[in-house]
Amino acid sequence: MGILKAVRGTRDLLPPETVLWNRVEATARAVFARYGFGEIRTPIFEDTALFARSVGEETDIVSKEMYTWDDRARADSDTAQSLTLRPENTAGVVRAYIEHKLADTGMLQKLFYIGPQFRRERPQRGRYRQFWQIGAEVLGPAWSGSDSPLRDAEVLEMLSTFLNELGVKGWKLELNSVGSSTDRPRYVAALREALAPVKARMNADNQRRAETNPLRVLDSKAPEDQEIIEGLPKIADFLDDASREHFAQVLAALDACGALLGGGRYDGLSEMLGGPKAPGIGFAIGEDRLILTLQAQAEAATEPKLDAFVAPMGIAQNSAALVLAKDLRAAGLGVEVGDGSFRLKKSFEAADKLARRMVILGEDEIASGILTVKDFSAGEQTKVPRAELADFLRG
Ligand code: AMP
């Protein structure tokens, strides 16, 4: 029998990498909370119809990337319900908004989520079949201010603060307006018309998109099609006065915040799902790619070390070592503990990798209550009374 492995396109996240994942998520939670966002956790699978309706039947996601199966209430049941692993989280958030009648609270809803999403894409570096998104959505009845340009600017400025607090360097925001639900059909019609005579020269994916969802042609990174794409009509020329004014106000507000920096405003999604009119804005950050960016930036890659490695000199000091580790941990320090099979060189190497300092615990140390602390970076050895040890290690 072969060895079982994680399924293609999925992977295990192991320490120390998970330290970075947790830092990213803790930063997201802290920043979003300051902007008044609350966390929402929606189910990982939903009724297939939810995604078909909200993401759109003609999108790549719905047409070929979803993990969908027929689910029976019981093994012997004849009727099955079609379920799908969520390929994105906005649909689930809007469904929950409708289902729990959040509109009736009369309050603007500011929600964020962090969690895995699933798409059957061709795996490569940075592209997985189970990947994580960190996202936020603002929605509410129009009178709660959900369609204000200020809201758009606030969400984008929050994103900028998040990236800055994480220490992401050299990022830039490229901002566009896709107009309103009245501008867009006019633009899509113009795109279709412009694509008709040239699409035969494009790759198979773009030929299909030109028919089903011309806006998606604009997302294509295919080098051979870029020349045609650059020559297509621009949405900026199709915005009506209201959309133009909205966009100008978003830019002005961002400018005022000094933050000219994936996401977007969506209208009509709640109504498409059978809910009340609820304009909204949201974004979804690919966490896997954010982590890759941080790892590429050297300073983020240095993982924090523990404060101390407690090394008992022999089996007789094992219990004392565990007690010392417990006391130091209770004092808020990060501590690893070795055992009596301590062999100076091996133990030293392990301790050096894990911790900034090593606390040596032999017969003498226990008898005298004075411990020997080895500082790895300074290469110094210091005698420290047990009562002062926690403070010393903090320094
Ligand atoms: P989307 O929901 O397609 O707009 O994607 C939003 C973000 O999620 C993208 O910008 C990526 O960073 C990330 N993302 C989408 N699909 C994948 C994937 N298969 N693997 C890793 N990240 C992804």
Could you read off the pLDDT of 303-342 as tens digits, one per residue?
668 999 999 988 899 999 999 999 999 999 999 998 877 6
Closest CA to 359 of 303, 298, 304, 307: 307
What pLDDT sits at residue 344? 66
Q: Whose CA is nearest to atom 15 of ligand 1?
A: 286
**Ligand 1 binding site (Cβ under 6 Å of any ligand atom):** 88, 119, 121, 127-128, 131, 133, 262, 284, 286, 288-289
Task: State which ligand 1 atom lies nearest to the alpha carbon of 127.
Answer: 20
Q: Cα(262) to centroid of ligand 1, in Å?
A: 9
Q: Are strands 306-312 and 355-361 parallel, antiparallel or unpaired?
A: parallel
The least confident of 46-50, 215-219, 299-303 is: 299-303
Residue with tokens 């003609």: 58
Residues 6+ apart with CB under 8 A from 124: none
CA–CA gap between residue 304 and residue 55 (Å, rounded): 41
Q: Phi, psi (5° rounding) for residue 153? A: -65, -40
Which amino acid does the sequence have at 358?
Answer: M
Percent of the chain topping pLDDT 70: 93
Q: Whose CA is nearest to atom 3 of ligand 1?
A: 88
Pocket test for ligand 1, best of 24, 133, 220, 285 (most atoms within 8 A of CB): 133
CA–CA gap between residue 385 and residue 378 (Å, rounded): 20
| Mean pLDDT, the chain, integer | 88
pTM of structure: 0.78
Average pLDDT estimate for 255-265: 56
What pLDDT sits at residue 260? 43
Q: Cα(188) to centroid of ligand 1, in Å?
A: 24
Q: Which two tokens stand for residue 3?
A: 């060895």
Could you read off the pLDDT of 141-188 as tens digits, one per residue?
888 888 888 998 899 899 989 999 998 888 877 777 878 888 888 999
Task: Kindly tell me the burial class for residue 299, based on how many C-beta atoms sit within 10 Å of its own C-beta (0-12, 13-18, 19 or more).
Answer: exposed
What pLDDT sits at residue 261? 41
Task: State which ligand 1 atom lies nearest to the alpha carbon of 121.
Answer: 19
CA–CA gap between residue 27 and residue 285 (Å, rounded): 13
Q: Are 20 and 56 spatial neighbours (Cβ–Cβ below 8 Å)?
A: no
Q: Which strands, in side-by-side order, build the sheet including 130-139?
A: 38-39, 109-118, 130-139, 280-286, 263-266
Q: Cα(178) to centroid of ligand 1, in Å?
A: 19
Average pLDDT estimate for 267-288: 77
- Residue 62 is given by DSSP the state I
Q: Cα(88) to centroid of ligand 1, in Å?
A: 9
Q: Are strands 370-375 and 80-85 parallel, antiparallel or unpaired?
A: unpaired
Q: Are 358 and 366 spatial neighbours (Cβ–Cβ below 8 Å)?
A: no
Q: Cα(97) to centroid of ligand 1, in Å?
A: 23
Q: Are 371 and 386 spatial neighbours (Cβ–Cβ below 8 Å)?
A: yes
Highest average pLDDT, of 36-45, 56-65, 342-351, 362-371, comes from 36-45
The least confident of 28-42, 95-109, 304-318 is: 304-318
Q: Cα(292) to centroid of ligand 1, in Å?
A: 13
3-state secondary structure of 190: helix
**Which runs of consecutive H residues, i.e. helices, occur in the chain?**
17-34, 48-54, 60, 90-99, 149-166, 183-195, 204-212, 226-230, 241-256, 269-272, 287-296, 298-301, 318-330, 344-354, 363-368, 389-394
Q: Is the pLDDT of residue 300 over 70?
A: no
Helices 149-166 and 241-256: angle between axes, nearest 10 degrees:
40
Q: Whose CA is nearest to atom 7 of ligand 1?
A: 286
Pocket test for ligand 1, best of 288, 290, 291, 293 (most atoms within 8 A of CB): 288
Closest CA to 190 of 144, 238, 236: 238
b (16+ CB within 10 A) / e for 46-55: bebebbbbbb
Q: Cα(42) to centroid of ligand 1, in Å?
A: 18
Q: Cα(264) to centroid of ligand 1, in Å?
A: 14
Question: Does the N-terminal peptide bond of residue 385 adopt cis geometry, omega within 30 degrees of 0?
Answer: no
